Amino acid sequence: MMSPETPLRIGLSARLLHQSPAELGFRGKPLQYLEQSAAHWIMSHGAMAFMIPTLLSDTPNRRAMVTATHYAEQLDGLLLQGGADVDPRTYGQQPLRPEWSGDEIRDRYELALLRAFIEQGKPVFGICRGMQLLNVAYGGTLIQDIAQQIPGAGSHVDSSLYDELVHEVCIARDTPLANVFDSADPVPVISIHHQCVDRLGEGLIAAAHSHPDGLIEAIVADSPNLVIGVQWHPEFHPSRRSPVLDCTPLLEIFMQAARANRHGGRV
């Protein structure tokens, strides 16, 4: 049994590399990895970060009796990392281009994780792809490519700039996020996405929109436990020299929800 002083244990979904480059020396073996900024962001608030691996069905190692539910039982919260596109087939569509086919294997793995955590009433936080997957899990759909499908939209990704691309978002009034960020003015965030929410999932609230094109940039579930997603990259904000939105309050409410769940509703 954990003592009240035991640090929170936050699970981070793994990024999957199905064909590793030859120069890494793994001879084509798939890799599972963690982007360190996400882990360090969690650890900077006193929590322990654990990457949750997945075993694919075609590996020689068997999963035995370890399931997503077992991980959810042992951890206090789940953070879904960014990364590869969500496969359009996961939300009932076909890829408009082969390069937008996404990662169906990762979709199945992360959907199992987030459903296990939600079923146990534990908080879930989705970043970029993670927010998009949350929307799909609640029955929503995605725009496969902003530039092609939304003419006139602003720039949301630039491969040459990567995490130096900043655009503004507006926090929606009368939503849970308005209690976290007390600002009626547009605020700058780091943007690295070419896909976005199209049809909002059932039971989700649009909590922020990009400015001025109005794309959904944050979602919150209308549920007793905290389920939240942001399209921007808060884990990259602390290292920025130019001003961007301080997302510390966002991480703090996630940690508070995890701590309250651990202690039966008491923070």
User: Is 3 within the bounds of a domain?
Assistant: no
The whole domain housing 203 covers: 9-262
In a domain, 267, yes or no: no
In this prediction, residues 47-73 reach a mean pLDDT of 78
Residue 241: per-residue pLDDT:
64
User: Which range has highest mean pLDDT (21-30, 124-133, 153-162)?
Assistant: 124-133
Q: Any catalytic annotation for residue 252?
A: no
C-alpha–C-alpha distance, residues 111 and 106, integer Å: 8
The residue with greater pLDDT, 240 or 222, is 222
pLDDT of residue 179: 87
In sequence order, the 6+-apart residues with CB closer than 8 A to the CB of 108 are none
65-109 pLDDT, tens per residue? Answer: 788 999 999 999 999 999 999 999 999 999 999 999 999 999 999
246 inside domain: yes
Proportion of the chain above pLDDT 90, given as a percent: 69
Q: Look at residue 201 and tell me if it is in a domain.
A: yes
Query: Is 195 a member of any domain?
Result: yes
pLDDT band at 60 (very low <50, low <70, confident <90, very high): low
Q: What is the number of structural domains in the chain?
A: 1
- Whether 85 is covered by a domain: the verdict is yes
Annotated catalytic residue, options 156, 193, 235, 247: 235
Q: How many residues does the chain have?
A: 267
The structure's pTM equals 0.91
Quick check: is 235 catalytic?
yes
Q: What is the mean pLDDT of residues 147-168?
A: 91
CATH (domain of 193): 3.40.50.880
Q: What is the pLDDT of residue 66?
A: 81
User: Looking at residue 267, what is its pLDDT?
Assistant: 47
The active-site residue out of 156, 193, 194, 233 is: 233
DSSP 3-state assignment of 196? strand
> C-alpha angle 197/199/201, rounded to 5°?
90
In this prediction, residue 236 carries a pLDDT of 87
Is 46 contained in some domain? Answer: yes
Domain assignment of residue 1, yes or no = no
Tell me whether residue 233 is one of the annotated catalytic residues. Answer: yes
> Quick one: average pLDDT of 18-37?
74
Between these two residues, 219 and 246, which has the higher pLDDT value? 219
Q: Of these residues, 128, 167, 168, 237, which one is catalytic?
A: 128
Long-range (24+ apart) CB contacts under 8 A made by 136-140 are 136/86, 136/90, 136/91, 136/107, 136/111, 136/201, 137/111, 137/201, 138/201, 138/202, 138/203, 138/204, 138/221, 139/201, 139/202, 140/91, 140/197, 140/198, 140/199, 140/200, 140/201, 140/202, 140/204
Q: Which of 90, 194, 104 is nearest to 141 (CA)?
A: 90
Separation between Cα atoms, residue 156 and residue 146, nearest integer Å: 8
Straight-line distance from the first to the last Cα atom of the chain, in angstroms, rounded to the nearest whole number: 17
When the pLDDT of each residue in the chain is averaged and rounded to a whole number, the result is 89
Angle between helices 104-119 and 129-137 (to 10 degrees): 70
Distance, C-alpha 239 to centroid of its chain: 19
State whether residue 228 is helix, strand or coil: strand
Distances (CA, A) of 201 to 103, 105, 142: 20, 21, 10
